[in-house]
Amino acid sequence: MSVEADLDAWTIAEAGRRLRARELSATELTRAALERIGARNAALNAFITVASDDALRAAAAADARLAAGTAAGPLDGIPVAVKDVIATACVRTTAASRILADFVPPYDATVTARLKAAGAIIVGKTNCDEFAMGSSNENSAYGSARNPWDLTRVPGGSSGGSAVAVAAGMALGSLGTDTGGSIRLPASYCGVVGMKPTYGAAAKYLRRRQQLGVHLEADHRLVGGAGAGTPIHGAHDAAPTRGGRRVCHSVAVSYARAVRAAVDTLGGLGARAGSASLPHTEYAVATYYVIATAEASSNLARYDGVRYGSRLAGDSLLDMYCRTRAAGFGPEVKRRIMLGTYALSAGYYDAYYLKAQKVRTLIRRDFARVFEQADVIVTPTAPTTAFRLGEKLADPLQMYLSDIFTISVNLAGLPGIVVPCGVDDAGLPIGLQIVGPPFGEEVVLRTARAYEAATEWHTRRPPRVGAAS
Amino acid sequence: MLDSPVVKITRDEIRHVALLARLALDPAEEEAMTATLDAILTYMEKLAELDTSAVEPTAHILDLPTPWRDDVVTNAPDADRLLANAPARDGDFFRVPKIIE
């Protein structure tokens, strides 16, 4: 006698409890997720590859463990989605790029192997910006994922599909990566929880500084292991100010209002709120795009048409490289390779790359100073709610500035979480960002948990789209 | 350089950087790339506002030691699997265009 899977209401903890109580099987739960993907992916484009056969095989194995009472843990039998920049053995991994259109990894990324060892069922590979480079998901060679709250809007990037999959009930959790806000921004735009751990806290087999994290439906307590109901010690509102003047690009009125209300809520829970100054925040976007593009230019050198990926014929080896890369990479990736190559080239290294690394030190010091007095820093996640598809495509700099509140957190290597904290006048989700000191995941999760326990925003679900399921 | 005047990057520099980056750009791409990079580099000029003469660069964010692991072979030699993604192969080798005339 089975209950029907409720992908909109269940958290990972709830689904796991029902699996272990044998109220339904992992196969039934996985089938429900796959059916939901089948019904909604045409409209949402959250998945580049759906791994139905592998998922059902893994679910059968999970059911065997659950029947034998040897479940691997809280993730055993839980359908999850994995961002398509993360290698999955024998399942196509494109990084949302044309150059890897047919790439089937011969191995699992460390995090994939750990997910599998924990019994999680990988239902598919989620859409994202090409090589995780973007803030809207529009830089995907496979078309942008759509925001489930408004299909004319972006889901945010780069881990857009990962956030959409969770928001639309296509998986109960997902993996993303966050190098400048790529988990947190889509979490804010799609109304789900997104967590980026301290740099180095999650295992990876990815390019340098790229960071793993999760999108969850109000369920981070389980994965993070933090306890519920523990009072927080104090929270400081650090909406960046400098000499009393707001230096960052203005935050939309309704967004700022929701974040202030969230700070009040935390105050009501016992947090002592104050304001703090992070004076170098206004330099974070410039710093990041020097460092990140320099790294990208060197990292993407491996795509040369020799060992894997597509190849275009050329008159010479050099010609083959140039044509292969020109055809295989999209506009934003080319732009970043060019910027990074320029910033690292002879005569410019000191002025750009070395300078950015020094400013990065100043940004780190800003945070260190605040964390001498505060347990967490609370900010808006973005200046606005989800913007319209195409709105910022022609102006890369405006796109980069969407990351203004998330990017300094990466430069400082800190843990951060985004939780839903309101809606704007159009009903689009607003996300509260909570940042902690290095390896301060526990206080970050505890704060988020306390906030969720006092509010209802995380229980909102987007309207159904696509065929009924 | 950050303290140079108005134009940050010229069309000729774009061509040079594209060659360094092994990217074939058509004339329209070159033109668009010149304008976009110029705007972005102008924005990055902000960094020059800060005096960093006494600041150490941050190359890596955490002061964590690099742990050692045992030096053991973990991947079985499996040429077919590793060559399965090769654009062109010849036996157990990657095949590339002729380099030496």
Using one digit for the tens of pLDDT, what is the confidence trace for A131-177?
999 999 999 999 999 999 999 999 999 999 999 999 999 999 999 99
List pLDDT tens digits, range A434-448. 999 998 999 999 999
> Does the annotation mark A2 as catalytic?
no
A254 is catalytic: no
Query: Predicted confidence band at A241 (pLDDT cuts at 50, 70, 90)?
Result: very low
Nearest Cα to Cα of residue B39 among A397, A128, A33: A397
Full-model pTM: 0.90
Asked if pLDDT for residue A328 goes beyond 60, the answer is yes
Mean per-residue pLDDT for A115-140? Answer: 97
Banded pLDDT at A290 (limits 50, 70, 90): very high
More confident residue, A31 or B95: A31
Distance CA B9, CA B18 (A): 13
What CATH number belongs to B11-48?
1.10.20
Residue of A354, A400, A438 with shortest CB distance to B57 = A354
State how far the Cα of B13 lies from the Cα of A93, in Å rounded to an integer. Answer: 35
Q: What is the pLDDT of residue A216?
A: 53
Q: Any CB–CB contact under 8 A between A103 and chain B?
A: yes
Q: Which of A313, A326, A339 sits opposite B24 (nearest CB)?
A: A326
Residue ranges per structural domain of chain B: 11-48
- A151 or A1, greater pLDDT: A151
Do the beta carbons of residue A368 and residue A321 sit within 8 Å?
A: no
Q: Which residues of chain B make contact with A413, given a CB cutoff of 8 A?
A: 61-62
Complex prediction ipTM: 0.90
CA distance A147 to A40: 12
Tell whether the model's pLDDT for residue B34 goes beyond 80.
yes
How far apart are the CA of A210 and the nearest CA of chain B, in angstroms?
A: 12
Segment among A16-20, A147-151, A321-325, A460-464 with least mean pLDDT? A460-464
Chain A, nearest residue to B59 by Cα: A357
Average pLDDT of every residue of chain B? 88
Question: Is A277 annotated in the active site?
Answer: no
Q: Which residues of B touch A282 (CB under 8 A)?
A: 46
Set of chain A residues whose Cβ sits within 8 Å of the Cβ of B52: 355, 358-359, 361-362
Q: Which amino acid is at A398?
A: Q
Confidence of residue A214 (pLDDT cuts 50, 70, 90): low
A-contacting residues of B 15-74, CB under 8 Å?
A: 17-25, 29, 33, 36-37, 39-41, 43-44, 46-50, 52, 55-59, 61-62, 64
- Among A285, A311, A338, select the one facing B18 at the smallest CB separation: A338
The β-bridge relationship of strands A121-126 and A47-50 is antiparallel
pLDDT band with cut points at 50, 70 and 90 for residue A235: very low
Q: What is the rounded distance in angstroms from the CA atom of residue B97 to the CA atom of residue A371? A: 56
Q: What does the alpha-carbon distance between residue A407 and residue A67 come to, in Å, rounded to a whole number? A: 45
